[in-house]
């Protein structure tokens, strides 16, 4: 099915309206010149720290109900595509369940069907933070999408990921599963990547009922599917979610820039991921 990017255009148009209404609060950031951390992109947060990055106690669920000005499109009765209230780029969207589903529960068939329905129109870099320990800011299930045009690199670490797939680079020293995707994959294929990756990482079997799995991140695009097992959320004042493993880092007032200069970004990832036994 040809990609029309209709949903991306709808998200951009909705963003303009939501900004005028004050419902959308884009993060203002500035790219920091590399000092030994290329190809990672480090951005300094210049605007006020959004609520989801502040230390806080229990919060109301912002998705039940969701803010109508942020709605892009409903996908049947199971999911809805929303603008991220605090976007890191224009068109940054969330795919949420219309009814309550726990972020730290296993992703299900309906989640993958909805992902595929969006991706057939607007593709890009998908990511998922399974719990607070993996960088999730909300307990209600949501996957996130940073749209990309056809042929556009998905993220700064795209070359490193391709080198891993070719076998041209040494494995990373933490627990992860990276696999190539084939053209024309179905929702069932995505679910298979997810299930096999989870089992290989010792997270459990998504097909079996039980307690929530240990924290993990997902990152995927049309070419690859990456799953990382996590052990903590932050180090040296840097909050690391799935985007850290894509090469995107955010410098806030709490971040220790001297630590990053001394140890480098790969040390950040190694510190928050589960190490290879």
**Among 115, 119, 110, 103, CA closest to 241:** 103
Report pTM.
0.95
pLDDT tens profile 128-165? 999 999 999 999 999 999 999 988 999 999 999 999 99
pLDDT tens profile 264-273? 999 999 999 9
In the 8-state DSSP scheme, what is residue 68? G
Domain 6-47+78-272 sits in which CATH superfamily? ATP adenylyltransferase (3.30.428.70)
**Sequence-separated (6 or more) residues with CB below 8 Å from residue 236:** 255, 256, 259, 260, 263, 268, 271
Q: Chunk the chain into consecutive blocks of 10 residues (it has 277) and report each block's average pLDDT, rounded to whole numbers.
A: 84 96 93 95 87 57 95 97 94 98 96 98 97 95 96 96 96 97 97 97 90 95 97 96 98 96 97 96
């Amino acid at each position: 099915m040809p990609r029309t990017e209709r949903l991306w255009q709808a998200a951009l148009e909705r963003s303009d309206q939501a900004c005028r209404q004050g419902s959308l609060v884009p993060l203002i950031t500035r790219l920091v010149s590399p000092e030994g951390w290329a190809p990672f992109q480090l951005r300094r947060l210049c605007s006020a720290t959004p609520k989801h990055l502040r230390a806080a106690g229990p919060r109301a669920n912002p998705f039940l109900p969701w803010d109508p000005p942020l709605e892009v499109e409903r996908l049947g009765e199971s999911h809805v595509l929303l603008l991220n209230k605090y976007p890191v780029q224009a068109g940054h969207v969330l795919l949420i369940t219309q009814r309550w589903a726990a972020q730290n529960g296993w992703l299900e068939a309906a989640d993958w069907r909805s992902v595929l329905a969006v991706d057939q129109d607007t593709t890009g870099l998908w990511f998922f933070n399974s719990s607070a320990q993996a960088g999730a800011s909300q307990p209600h299930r949501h996957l996130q999408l940073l749209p990309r045009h056809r042929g556009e690199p998905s993220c700064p670490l795209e070359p490193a990921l391709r080198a891993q797939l070719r076998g041209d680079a040494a494995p990373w020293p933490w627990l992860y599963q990276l696999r190539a995707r084939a053209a024309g994959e179905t929702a069932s294929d995505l679910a298979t990547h997810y299930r096999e990756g989870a089992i290989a990482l010792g997270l459990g079997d998504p097909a079996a009922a039980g307690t929530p799995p240990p924290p993990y991140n997902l990152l995927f695009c049309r070419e690859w599917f990456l799953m990382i097992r996590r052990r903590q959320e932050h180090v040296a004042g840097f909050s690391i979610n799935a985007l850290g493993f894509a090469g995107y880092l955010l410098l806030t007032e709490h971040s220790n820039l001297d630590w990053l200069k001394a140890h480098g970004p790969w040390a950040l990832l190694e510190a928050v991921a589960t190490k290879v036994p």
